Structure 1
Amino acid sequence: MAKHPTDTCFHCHNPIAPGVVIAVQRAADTVDHVCCYGCKAVAELILGQGLGRFYQYLDTPLPRPDEMSDSEDAALSVYDRDDLLAELAESRSVKAPDGTSRTLHSIRLSLRGITCAACVWLIENALRTESGVDSCLVNLSTHEAQLEWYQADIPLSTLLSRLRRLGYEATPLTAEAHEAELQKSQRTDLLRIGIAGIGAMQAMMLAIPTYFGLLDVSGETMLTFFRMASLLIATPVVFFSAQPFFAGAKRSLINTVRMRQIQQLTMEVPVALAMALAYGASLWITWQGGDEVYFDSVCMFTFFLLLGRFFEHRARLKMVHESARLSQQRFVLYERLDPVTLHVQDQVLVRDMQVGDVIRLGSGQLIPFDGDICRIDSHHAQSYHVNEAALTGEFRPQRKYPGDTVLSGSVVVDTPVPARVIRVGGESFLSTVDRLVNRALAERPAVARLADRIGGSFVFGVLVVTTLVFAFWYQHDPGSPQRAFEIALSVLVVTCPCALALATPTALTTATNALRRLGLIVTRGHTIETMARVDTTVFDKTGTLTFGHLSLRNEVNPSRLQLAADLADHSEHPVSRALAKAAEGMTSGVQRQHSRFESVRVVPGAGVEGQLDGIVYRLGNAAFISELLVGHAFGDSDDEHTEAWFVSASPTPELTRFEFDDEIRPESRQIISSLRNTLDQDCRMMSGDRPGPVHRVAEALGIEEALASCSPDDKLRAVQGLQQDRVVAMIGDGINDLPAMAAAHVSIAMHEASDLAQVKADALLGAGRLGVLPDAFAHARKTLKIIRQNLGWALGYNALALPLAVAGLIPPWAAAIGMSLSSLIVLFNAMRLNRISPA
């Protein structure tokens, strides 16, 4: 019988059964053996794709892969169904290099079988080599993957099958499943905290009498009893409550050795080492005898650390809950109306809604799609109230009229709302926001990466200092090794960088949540940090500082306005829409009567003509009107306003002039004033509009630098010029702003912005929330200030406590309390970011 070079499988590290000889060619001159044909298939797949480095990073045994049957392959094909794919994945249209439009799908996967960083490396690289896969990112801590691929090129079932053959089971992760998983994790965390808290209280209750001489423990029996009781209390704390720290430390040490980078060291290493040493030494002293045990320190240490982690995780769970709440609406029934009569036609699930459907949204119902409110009665404009607090932070219900937009995530307050579906599912506003926020939380801003680098070096320094301190005291007092151990343990505990690890992520997560409530949705990891350093803000004009649509600015006779608006109903020109809106806003009691005109004729670029009671009416520009008023002088038109004329061809014609403006948002002046005077920012404006309107708006808002008639390239060059010595924020809403927004250090898109501008921007403003900008910039500065405070406190505390611990002035139990209080100070300081302070 052939003899194996080794008795373990080189792929999964499991034992090879006697008599089994299955060889795999690892390299040109290297043959290794595996335990089964499943491992052989997976190993050949990995090696065949050039991913052999996987085995260099592997640090734990892999599960033995099973051969997939045809029925299992067929079962995965269900994920290729269009209806299920639309439910589980998000899709968006992207431009291919050849100019064609393609559909890119994005899905979150839950992965089973991941054991270490090598698995992450293998999964990412194995999928990225597949034709049709755009990107794949795996999160080791959550065992989740974010996959983007072209379903037309490679079906999802093929990718899932490929992962299964590599030994990893992947299933789509829905918002409800993610929330359920986080809630389950939170319940486990609470159980760990509860056991650690009870253990800490009981251990301290047993330890305090011995510390302060309140109980006579001179007898060996009583002392042993107290120590055995403390051992029973501390054991479940160490082996259950503290288990995440030991697992994290193991992973960190293995990665450090494999990659030979001290930056891979995490705060779990000194934490786990301190717990293991304290528990092990206490166990030995309890068994063999000695001066002091540290069970109370271990329990307190574990309890406070778990408490800090719990508060950090709760911030993320709140964000996931919002996504799950909307996702659960897919299976709620809504009444579908006939598009013409608006009578109830049938009932439809959210998942089955189509663009163009008219849905009745009942009082108190969550709006699951983006849509426009439909008109029920043609003789008056019904108003509705919608609560948009989840999107904009504004707690007061917003009044909506027919033609206004309602967004997914809003709630109908009172009167049922009939709305036409524009975007639903993954294309809706709230789904887009959730996708962008998840992207922001997954990214690591520079300040977080700096903390990580400092943390790794700091942990290494702590381990070195602890070793040197132990060696010094052991040499200084060789007769008392327990004293050297106690001092070294205090040094290890007191300098543990838990506060350093919590300083940045807790602050950023809390600030992201607070800004979302305010109405600014952060979509990139660097946004808050960069906003804090902005000294120049550049605004687009149309749709940003102004509403982006025409409004009537001069006073006219109400009856003439109603008549002109009636004729304007037959045209889609912006002037026509402005007249219709002005007429609906009239409070004179004059009702509009639609479709009274006959023989209507629309002349593109000129105006609209119609007859009423045998009289010809015209609405349009001066040239179009002059055909009915031969010889009439209209005067010179200014460059600042848009105008239209309304006239009738009666024996005594009456001529009415309408003057329109792109109305300035009422909050724009206060925004510019606050940014300039309170935050000391330089505010500028760029627009593609004519010089007249641009300079009028600039003068009204107190903006000194304003550029008009700008092309996208002009805006781009202007922003790049400012970036030579400034940190620039660009705020816009249109595709023509995209180059400048992409070039700016940080870009903010208006809620009404084009879909492309929203996706590319670093942050989104909720509907009607331009006024939150000063508070958002101020909060970003406060966030960066608190992060620096946390980092300063964490480093300063260690610098102060370390000499005291080295001198033997801090016992282990006091070190545990000090380190825990330091972490809680950092945590609660970050929680101050929940409150938004006005700029």
Structure 2
Amino acid sequence: MQSQRVIRIGVDGMNCASCVGRVERALQAREGVESAEVNLATASATIRHDGRLTVQDVEHLLDETGYPARLETSIFDIDGLSCASCVARVEAALNAAPGIAGAEVNFAAGTAKVRHLPQVGPAQIATIVADAGYRAQPHQSGQDRAADHEQQQAGALKHHVLIASVLALPVFLLEMGGHVVPGFHDMVAATIGIRTSWMLQFLLTTLILFGPGRQFFRHGVPALLKGAPDMNSLVALGTAAAYGFSTVVTFWPALLPEASRNVYFEAAAVIVALLLLGRYLEARAKGRTGEAIRKLSGLRARTARVERDGAVVELPVEQIEVGDVVHLQPGERIAVDGMVVSGRSWVDESMITGEPIPVEKSEGMPVTGGTINGNGAFAFRATRVGSDMVLSQIIAMVEEAQGARLPIQGLVNRVTLYFVPVVIAVAVLAFAAWMLWGPEPRLAHALVAGVAVLIIACPCAMGLATPTSIMVGTGRAAELGVLFRKGDALQALQSVDVVAFDKTGTLTEGRPTLTDVEVVAGIERREVLAQMAAVEAKSEHPVARAVVEGAREAGLILETADDFRAMTGQGVRATVGGHDILIGTIHLMQQEQIAPDALASRADELARQGKTVLFVARDGHLVAVAAVADPIRDSARSMVADLHEQGVKVAMITGDRKATADRVAQELGIDEVVAEVMPDGKVAALTRLRGSGAVAFVGDGINDAPALASADVGVAVGTGTDIAIESADVVLMGHDLGAVANAFAISRATMTNIRQNLFWAFGYNILLIPIAAGMLYPLNGILLSPMLAAGAMALSSVLVVSNALRLRRVRPATSRHDQ
């Protein structure tokens, strides 16, 4: 690993000597930097420092300068995590290591996401984790390994629970049977004798502690010796204290006052059995939190029939390469993303888009891996394989969201880092207080109080409170067609007061049709339409495609347009047959000093019908006005109603005329309209809307990317452009806008669930630790049994995970509205 006084780091964005100088000056100005050398050819910087500089500092400094650091992100599966204190410990070890810019550990998923320099390899990261007392190995996507590991862990815990329960039952009966069956204690004394009973309890408890209970000592003692105790340390200390004291009473009773000669083997034995049972139930429940990922992974095909060397052979999906031709029979699952080269069929894409109706596929049309072929047969050429496939990217997006660290988790981690040492201190103080001021037998009372405090404390519940809810919530969101690309969006969305929608392609189908072409007197309509279509054929805009399609339906032959120029958000211009053709908004006409008066009243009438109006000028004179209608999406009306039901205000931002926008808004029940907005004006429109509170923006096009990035939460429609999706915090799969309301419902349900879990986890510890220490004894003479403490502790984690699993039953917002 690199020297702690030298940091070598890649730098992105440098393209000239000025960039190099800027980066060097910024680095050299940093306190503690002795020298900084930046190399443009290798796009890297070498920083020598006095030991006070970290990779995190350099990353932050480079980001501020505008040249981001080139770091790698790796995910590792971590074995041995038993509580939130373990999470804080692993994070602290990783973040303190040279070459690592940051690490986030997810207790529920058992993973660590590490941002590091490229020269820091997986083996070095695994060594850092191992030095902290845990095991790490690179994560396998799709949770295949995780599911196997969880299953193995649950199976091993079940085995340990059975053994511990069989051994603990006789111990419990021998010591506590008299409290259940009158005369049982006298019968034991009269038959085998009290001392023999103690010897049997010693033997059985020893088997439990050094058999199924060994795991508590194997992890807890080393952590304690390193000065970093965890939950295992608490259990090891508590059971060892009860077992050690009872062993002294059994074999060397003269060392203790006669009044204190009681054994607590049953406490140690039952504590281990109950805690193992709790861990088993917790493991089973945690295994269900990743169900969404496993369902998505189950959509992957295992094999496919591929053309190789002139023959069609069956190969594992992993061996398919880009360019391979894959043959598909009826009912088969599509293996990878591709383009149809021959044949025709209907494909069920519902698992990706949520649309229940199969989609026709023929030559030249794309297909998506994981979807299911219908009754036809076809062949397709692979265009994306492995991690580049749409399904793989969806799985990666869900995994990223499930491993997200919400802002609230930082506070929890800081608390849990000190929680176990504080609990040990409270246990010591409770023991000392009972020894100094407690009634006889003081030693016995002090032991019971100290052990109960150690056992009842539950850092697990605090560590599981947030990540389990996130895992289940984001998994359920994926099932409802919502992908959270950024974890903090899950928390931010619940605070949104206004949702602003782009109109074209988001609230509407994005498949406009040409409905009207009105010309001024003396102008030939077909000639104008042909010239319009010739210009619009050069554009990719949906409105342009509608004009071209309208001309073709009219049987017109299009000329070639020259000198094409697009004016973003206003219109287009080109030369057709020697004529200067200008098509666009009324503002564009006014800018070009072309009077629209001749057709202004007709344009207003078309706009009031909810149509998009285009003015057409030829050689500087207005010749026509055209109208394009874009049908409103079927799901838009119910979605707006659902958002209103959740108390969210709905706005629409569009470049259309005010009359057109108002008609659409009136039809949908939208609260506020911002019309006649240029693409670069959408950000300003969002700023104005922030006067009503936090704003989310929903869009799908390239021109929506700035607004998606500027909004408090950006929501991209999954059928939109890649640029829009990359700019967004949340992605909706498919066309159904009901997913917008679902995203809000999931966000609110998840955050409510997290608050419930945190209230329980912290409230449990705040309330029960003092009771375990003996706070109630002066009032009613009750001193909590360590066995009851173990039961409460085991139940605490199970309740947190079980509460999180309730999120799997969150219903779609639209279904609630329909009811």
Q: TM-score, normalised by structure 1?
A: 0.66
Contact 2:270 2:787 survives alignment (8 Å): yes
Contact 2:502 2:698 survives alignment (8 Å): yes
Cα pair distance change 1:663/1:271, threshold 3 Å:
farther
Contact 2:655 2:675 survives alignment (8 Å): yes
Listed one character per residue, the Cα deviations across residues 681-705 of structure 1 (whole Å, up to 9, x for unaligned) are 1111223445454333222212131
Alignment partner for residue 299 of structure 1, among 263, 266, 272?
272
Contact 2:285 2:798 survives alignment (8 Å): no
1:674 lines up with 2:642 in the alignment: yes
1:470 lines up with 2:431 in the alignment: yes
1:743 CA displacement: 3.2
- The equivalent of 1:809 in structure 2 is 783
1:790 CA displacement: 2.4
- The equivalent of 1:545 in structure 2 is 507
- The equivalent of 2:629 in structure 1 is 661
Which residue type is aligned with residue 471 of structure 2? T
Listed one character per residue, the Cα deviations across residues 171-194 of structure 1 (whole Å, up to 9, x for unaligned) are 865437x62365135313421233
Listed one character per residue, the Cα deviations across residues 55-84 of structure 1 (whole Å, up to 9, x for unaligned) are xxxxxxxxxxxxxxxxxxxxxxxxxxxxxx
1:823 lines up with 2:785 in the alignment: no
Cα pair distance change 1:799/1:101, threshold 3 Å:
closer
Alignment partner for residue 415 of structure 1, among 376, 387, 401?
376
Alignment partner for residue 362 of structure 1, among 320, 325, 329?
329
1:666 CA displacement: 0.7
Cα pair distance change 1:736/1:271, threshold 3 Å:
farther
Which residue type is aligned with residue 192 of structure 1? L
Contact 1:197 1:303 survives alignment (8 Å): no
- The equivalent of 1:310 in structure 2 is 283
Alignment partner for residue 176 of structure 2, among 211, 215, 226?
211
- The equivalent of 1:791 in structure 2 is 758
d(CA) in 2 for partners of 1:255, 1:738: 50
Cα pair distance change 1:697/1:196, threshold 3 Å:
same
For the residue of structure 1 that corresponds to 2:238, the secondary structure is helix
Alignment partner for residue 524 of structure 1, among 483, 486, 507?
486
Q: Would you say how many aligned residue pairs link Structure 1 and Structure 2? A: 673
1:103 CA displacement: 11
1:835 CA displacement: 0.3
Contact 2:94 2:102 survives alignment (8 Å): no
- Bigger Cα displacement from structure 2, 478-487 vs 545-554: 545-554
Contact 1:337 1:359 survives alignment (8 Å): no
Q: What does residue range 147-186 of structure 1 map to in structure 2 within 5 Å?
A: 174-175=140-141, 179-180=144-145, 182-184=147-149, 186=151
1:274 lines up with 2:238 in the alignment: yes
Listed one character per residue, the Cα deviations across residues 671-726 of structure 1 (whole Å, up to 9, x for unaligned) are 111111x1111111223445454333222212131223434543223334444662
- The equivalent of 2:588 in structure 1 is none
Cα pair distance change 1:724/1:466, threshold 3 Å:
farther
Q: What does residue range 352-751 of structure 1 map to in structure 2 within 5 Å?
A: 359-371=326-338, 376=343, 384-389=346-351, 391=352, 396=356, 398-402=358-362, 405-419=366-380, 421-456=382-417, 458-475=419-436, 476-477=438-439, 479-551=441-513, 574=542, 601-603=559-561, 638=606, 641=611, 660-676=628-644, 678-723=645-690, 726-751=693-718
Contact 2:94 2:129 survives alignment (8 Å): no
Which residue type is aligned with residue 141 of structure 2? A
1:192 lines up with 2:166 in the alignment: no
Listed one character per residue, the Cα deviations across residues 277-304 of structure 1 (whole Å, up to 9, x for unaligned) are 3344444445446423213332233223
d(CA) in 1 for partners of 2:582, 2:692: 52
d(CA) in 2 for partners of 1:347, 1:421: 15
Cα pair distance change 1:430/1:194, threshold 3 Å:
same
Cα pair distance change 1:136/1:350, threshold 3 Å:
farther
d(CA) in 2 for partners of 1:793, 1:167: 31
d(CA) in 2 for partners of 1:832, 1:166: 37
Residue identity (%): 27
d(CA) in 2 for partners of 1:292, 1:773: 62
Which residue type is aligned with residue 188 of structure 2? V
d(CA) in 2 for partners of 1:517, 1:399: 20
d(CA) in 1 for partners of 2:459, 2:320: 52
Contact 1:545 1:668 survives alignment (8 Å): yes
1:358 CA displacement: 5.4
Alignment partner for residue 305 of structure 2, among 324, 334, 339?
334
Which residue type is aligned with residue 369 of structure 1? V
Which residue type is aligned with residue 471 of structure 1? A
Cα pair distance change 1:570/1:112, threshold 3 Å:
same
Contact 1:334 1:350 survives alignment (8 Å): no
For the residue of structure 1 that corresponds to 2:631, the secondary structure is strand
1:788 CA displacement: 2.0
For the residue of structure 2 that corresponds to 1:809, the secondary structure is coil
For the residue of structure 1 that corresponds to 2:697, the secondary structure is strand
For the residue of structure 1 that corresponds to 2:811, the secondary structure is coil
For the residue of structure 2 that corresponds to 1:790, the secondary structure is helix
Contact 2:353 2:733 survives alignment (8 Å): yes
Which residue type is aligned with residue 481 of structure 2? G
Name stretches of at least 5 consecutive residues in structure 2 with no aligned partner.
9-62, 254-260, 518-525, 565-575, 584-597, 616-624, 814-819
Contact 1:175 1:323 survives alignment (8 Å): no
Which residue type is aligned with residue 549 of structure 1? R
For the residue of structure 2 that corresponds to 1:537, the secondary structure is strand
For the residue of structure 1 that corresponds to 2:511, the secondary structure is strand
Contact 2:635 2:736 survives alignment (8 Å): no
For the residue of structure 2 that corresponds to 1:443, the secondary structure is coil
1:512 CA displacement: 1.5
Cα pair distance change 1:311/1:202, threshold 3 Å:
same
Which residue type is aligned with residue 161 of structure 2? A
1:728 CA displacement: 2.4
d(CA) in 2 for partners of 1:315, 1:794: 20
d(CA) in 2 for partners of 1:113, 1:193: 17
1:516 CA displacement: 1.3
1:195 CA displacement: 1.0
d(CA) in 1 for partners of 2:238, 2:212: 15
For the residue of structure 2 that corresponds to 1:515, the secondary structure is helix
1:825 CA displacement: 2.6
d(CA) in 2 for partners of 1:538, 1:219: 82
- The equivalent of 1:260 in structure 2 is none
Name stretches of at least 5 consecutive residues in structure 1 with no aligned partner.
1-41, 52-95, 129-134, 258-264, 377-381, 585-591, 607-617, 626-632, 646-656
For the residue of structure 2 that corresponds to 1:663, the secondary structure is coil
- Bigger Cα displacement from structure 2, 634-643 vs 498-507: 634-643
d(CA) in 2 for partners of 1:276, 1:255: 18
Contact 1:195 1:236 survives alignment (8 Å): no
For the residue of structure 1 that corresponds to 2:425, the secondary structure is helix
- Bigger Cα displacement from structure 2, 159-168 vs 432-441: 159-168
Contact 2:338 2:366 survives alignment (8 Å): yes
Larger relative contact order (C-alpha < 8 A, sep ≥ 6)?
A: 2
For the residue of structure 1 that corresponds to 2:638, the secondary structure is helix
Listed one character per residue, the Cα deviations across residues 449-493 of structure 1 (whole Å, up to 9, x for unaligned) are 233334445545433332222222212236441222012222333
1:310 CA displacement: 0.4
1:334 CA displacement: 3.0
d(CA) in 2 for partners of 1:166, 1:819: 31
d(CA) in 2 for partners of 1:171, 1:801: 37
Listed one character per residue, the Cα deviations across residues 611-640 of structure 1 (whole Å, up to 9, x for unaligned) are xxxxxxx9xx99899xxxxxxx99955455
